[in-house]
C-alpha cells in the first residue's frame, strides 16, 4: 500500500476510534492498539511532511504558544437566556409562548456548568472556534479547542456550518488535576467550571491538551432543518457529541416531569449542571414569539436552587481580621457543594450561633451563599446523640490572648491589642491588595513569608524592602529578576492617589468609595488630624460611624508617626483630582457596570470612569446615566432598559475612552 493511502487509512481508523471512545463512550479497540496506530501515523507524517493535513489526529496536541487572543465577531449573536426558578415561573413562560403561537413543542436539555463556544466548519473541515464573550465579540480559541478530542476536525457535511456548545471538565478529570496541583504544592481549582475556563484560556495549547476538556454540542446553524430536536439528532449523526439526556416534550407539564427526574440523578452525573434549558422546537415560530432587548422569548433556563448539603461540624475555629474582629468559622467534615469541596463555613457571630442553637459535633445543613461563600443554615437536631458540645464564645484573642470586647450595639467581638500579630498581617495583606494600594507581586503568600521572616512588620517596612535586596535575591524561589520587579512595583505605587492610601490603611468603615469621598474633600492626609467628628460627619455620604472611626484613627499618636514616616519614604499623601483639569463624557455622570467584560476587569473599568470624572454605582436608578454591559449582565440590564438608561457595550465604552 502506498504511503498516502496508508496515512488516510490510519486517519480514518483513528477518527472512528476517537468517536467511539470520546463521543459514544464505547471503544472497540484497546488503548494499546490506538496508541500503536497513532505512533505509526506520527512516524509516517514526520517522514512525509507534505502529507500532513490540518485534520490529522496528530494535530490535536496544540499549535504554537500565543501571546494573546484575537477578537472575533459572531455572525449571529450568542444570546444569553432568561432564568426561571420555580415551576410557577416556568408555566408563566409557557403562557407567554402560548399567547404568541398556538401549536408548538419543546426540546429540553441539561444546563452544563461550563463555558459557551462557537465552532465553524468549512468544506467539512474544522475552521475556527471562539468564546461567547459579550455575545457579539468573542475571543479566538481555535488552537485550544482543537485539543478537545470529542470535537471532530473533519465532518461529513460540506456546507458552511456553525455549531455551538458548552465546554466542560468532568468531575473525574477535575479531581485528577487538583491532585496533581496539590502534589506540586500549587493552589487547586475551586470547581470544574473555573478549571475549564482557566484551561481554555491558556496561551499554550499543549497545556490545554493535558487538561482533557470535553464538550456537548447543543445547536447548529447551516442545517436545512426547522426543528430543534431534529437538529440535535442530525449533529449527532454528523459526529458531534450531544448530551444523551436531551429530550423532546409535548408540553410544559412533560418538561416539569423531566426536571423532577433530573433532580434525582443530578449528583450521579460526571459533570456539573446548574439547571435545564427549555427551547421551543419549531424554529419557524421564533420570529413570531420574538425577543426582549436581551433574551429570546422562545427559550428559558430553569435554575436549580443553591445546593444544600448535610455534613458534620467537627469544631469551631476563630479567625481574626485586620480590624480585630473575631469571626467563628465551622470546621466541617469535607463535602462537595455545587462542584467545590467545602471544609469550612461561616458562622457569622455569637448571636447567629445561639439563635440557631448550633453545637459542636452537630450535623448541619450547609450551602453556598450566592453560590460562592459556604454558610451553615441550620442544625439537623433529630440526629443529635448527646455527645454534642454547646457553643461558648471565647473570651481571649486566639493569637495574642488579649481580652476580647463586644462593642455596644454590635454582634461582633474585637481584639483591641494594637500589637496583635494576626491584625498586623491581615492589615498588610489588605494594604498591598489590588483593591487597595495594588502592589503587583506582593500577594498574600509572599507577604506572609516576609512577615514571618521579619522583613515586613509594618506598612512602612513595605517601602524599605529595597534595603534587603541582596538577602532576598538569594532566597529559594525568588531570584534577582523577581525581586527587582517587586521593588520596582513598590516604588511605582508611591505615586498612588490619597484615596488608595486611606483605603489601604484599613480604617474601620472606610471602604474604597468612602476613601475617595474623603480624599476629594480633604486633599492632604494631614488635614484629617485636626478634624472633629462633626466636621467629618458633615461631608456628604459620611455617616456617624465612619466619622467617629476616622476621628479615632487620626487621634492615635502611633498612626500619625507611621503616616509621617510614609511621607518621608516618598509615599504620596495628597489627592490629585484629575477631574478638575478637563471635562469628559463621564464628568459628573453615574455609571453602573454589569456582566463580565472582555478587555477590562471590573475594577479597571471603574478606575477609568472615575479618572474621567464619573461615579460608579452598584445599582440602577433614574439617576443613572450609563450602564456598561458585559457578558451575562443580569437584572441591572433589564432595569436600565425599563428606565431608558443609555446602554454601552464594551466597544462603545472603548470609543468613549479614546475620544475622551
- Catalytic site positions: 111
- Residue 551 has phi, psi (to 5 degrees) of -60, -45
Query: Sign of the CA dihedral 416, 419, 420, 422?
Result: positive
d(CA 156, CA 601): 41
111 SS3 class: strand
- Are 261 and 317 within 8 A, CB to CB? no
- Spell out a b/e string for 444-461, using b for 16 or more CB atoms within 10 Å of the CB, else e: eebbeebbeeebbebbbb
d(CA 205, CA 146): 9
Long-range contacts at 582-587 (CB < 8 A, ≥ 24 apart): 582/660, 583/613, 584/612, 584/613, 584/614, 584/660, 585/612, 585/656, 585/659, 585/660, 586/612, 586/613, 586/614, 586/626, 586/656, 587/612, 587/613, 587/614
Residues contacting residue 511 through CB under 8 Å, at least 6 positions apart: 503
68 SS3 class: coil
Task: Locate the DSSP E strands across 287-362.
Answer: 299-303, 308-320, 325-337, 340-346, 359-360
How many CB atoms are located within 10 Å of the residue 387 CB?
A: 8
d(CA 191, CA 181): 13
d(CA 193, CA 170): 9
β-sheet bridge partners, residue 119: 129, 163
374 SS3 class: strand
d(CA 403, CA 399): 11
Phi-psi region of 212 (alpha: psi -120 to 50; beta: other; left: phi over 0): left
Amino acid at each position: 500500500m502506498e504511503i498516502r493511502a496508508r496515512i488516510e487509512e490510519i486517519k480514518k481508523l483513528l477518527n472512528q476510534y476517537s468517536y467511539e471512545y470520546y463521543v459514544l463512550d464505547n471503544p472497540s479497540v484497546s488503548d494499546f492498539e490506538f496508541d500503536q496506530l497513532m505512533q505509526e501515523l506520527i512516524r509516517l507524517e514526520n517522514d512525509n511532511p507534505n502529507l500532513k493535513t490540518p485534520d490529522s489526529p496528530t494535530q490535536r496536541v496544540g499549535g504554537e504558544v500565543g501571546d494573546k487572543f484575537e477578537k472575533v465577531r459572531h455572525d449571529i449573536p450568542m444570546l444569553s437566556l432568561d432564568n426561571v426558578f420555580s415551576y410557577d415561573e416556568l408555566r408563566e413562560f409557557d403562557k407567554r409562548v402560548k399567547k404568541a403561537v398556538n401549536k408548538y413543542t419543546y426540546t429540553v436539555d441539561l444546563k452544563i456548568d461550563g463555558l459557551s463556544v462557537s465552532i465553524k466548519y468549512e468544506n467539512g473541515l474544522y475552521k475556527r472556534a471562539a468564546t461567547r464573550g459579550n455575545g457579539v465579540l468573542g475571543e479566538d480559541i481555535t488552537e485550544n479547542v482543537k485539543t478537545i478530542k470529542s470535537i471532530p476536525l473533519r465532518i461529513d457535511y460540506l456546507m458552511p456550518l456553525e455549531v455551538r456548545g458548552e465546554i466542560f471538565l468532568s468531575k473525574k478529570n477535575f479531581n485528577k488535576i487538583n491532585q496533581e496541583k496539590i502534589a506540586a504544592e500549587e493552589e487547586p481549582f475551586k470547581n470544574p467550571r473555573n478549571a475549564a475556563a482557566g484551561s481554555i484560556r491558556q496561551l499554550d495549547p499543549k497545556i490545554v491538551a493535558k487538561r482533557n476538556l470535553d464538550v456537548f454540542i447543543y445547536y447548529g446553524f447551516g442545517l436545512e432543518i426547522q426543528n430543534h430536536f431534529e437538529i440535535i439528532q442530525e449533529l449527532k449523526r454528523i459526529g458531534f457529541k450531544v448530551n444523551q439526556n436531551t429530550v423532546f416534550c409535548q408540553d410544559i407539564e412533560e418538561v416539569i416531569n423531566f426536571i423532577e427526574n433530573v433532580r434525582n440523578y443530578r449528583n450521579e452525573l460526571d459533570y456539573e449542571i446548574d439547571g435545564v434549558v427549555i427551547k421551543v422546537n419549531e424554529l419557524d415560530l421564533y420570529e413570531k414569539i420574538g425577543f426582549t432587548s436581551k433574551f429570546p422569548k422562545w427559550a428559558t433556563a430553569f435554575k436549580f436552587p443553591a445546593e444544600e448539603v448535610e455534613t458534620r461540624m467537627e469544631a469551631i475555629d476563630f479567625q481574626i481580621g485586620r480590624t480585630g474582629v473575631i469571626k467563628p468559622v465551622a470546621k466541617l467534615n469535607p463535602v462537595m457543594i455545587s462542584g467545590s469541596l467545602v471544609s469550612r463555613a461561616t458562622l457569622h457571630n455569637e448571636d447567629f450561633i445561639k439563635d440557631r442553637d448550633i453545637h459542636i459535633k452537630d450535623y448541619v445543613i450547609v450551602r453556598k451563599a450566592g453560590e460562592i461563600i459556604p454558610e451553615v443554615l441550620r442544625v439537623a437536631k433529630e440526629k443529635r446523640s448527646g455527645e454534642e458540645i454547646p457553643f461558648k464564645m471565647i473570651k481571649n484573642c486566639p493569637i495574642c490572648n488579649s481580652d476580647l470586647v463586644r462593642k455596644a450595639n454590635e454582634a461582633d467581638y474585637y481584639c483591641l491589642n494594637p500589637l496583635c500579630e494576626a491584625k498586623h498581617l491581615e492589615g498588610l495583606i489588605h494594604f498591598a491588595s489590588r483593591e487597595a494600594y495594588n502592589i503587583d507581586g506582593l500577594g498574600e503568600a509572599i507577604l506572609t513569608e516576609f512577615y514571618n521572616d521579619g522583613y515586613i512588620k509594618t506598612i512602612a517596612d513595605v517601602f524599605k524592602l529595597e534595603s534587603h535586596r541582596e538577602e532576598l535575591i538569594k532566597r529559594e524561589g525568588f531570584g534577582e529578576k523577581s525581586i527587582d520587579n517587586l521593588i520596582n512595583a513598590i516604588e511605582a505605587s508611591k505615586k498612588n492617589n490619597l484615596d488608595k492610601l486611606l483605603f489601604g490603611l484599613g480604617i474601620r468603615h472606610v471602604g474604597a468609595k468612602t476613601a475617595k469621598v474623603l480624599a476629594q474633600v480633604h486633599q492632604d492626609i494631614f488635614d484629617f488630624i485636626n478634624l472633629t467628628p462633626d466636621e467629618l460627619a458633615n461631608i456628604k455620604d459620611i455617616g456617624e460611624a465612619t466619622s467617629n472611626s476616622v476621628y479615632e484613627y487620626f487621634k492615635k499618636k502611633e498612626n500619625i508617626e507611621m503616616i509621617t514616616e510614609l511621607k518621608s519614604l516618598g509615599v504620596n499623601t495628597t489627592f490629585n483630582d484629575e477631574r478638575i483639569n478637563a471635562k469628559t463624557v463621564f464628568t459628573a455622570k453615574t455609571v453602573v457596570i454589569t456582566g463580565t467584560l472582555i478587555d477590562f476587569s471590573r475594577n479597571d473599568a471603574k478606575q477609568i470612569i472615575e479618572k474621567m470624572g464619573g461615579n460608579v454605582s452598584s445599582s440602577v436608578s433614574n439617576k443613572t446615566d450609563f450602564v456598561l454591559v458585559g457578558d451575562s449582565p443580569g437584572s441591572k440590564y433589564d432595569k436600565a432598559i425599563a428606565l431608558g438608561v443609555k446602554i454601552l457595550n464594551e466597544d462603545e465604552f472603548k470609543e468613549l475612552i479614546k475620544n475622551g
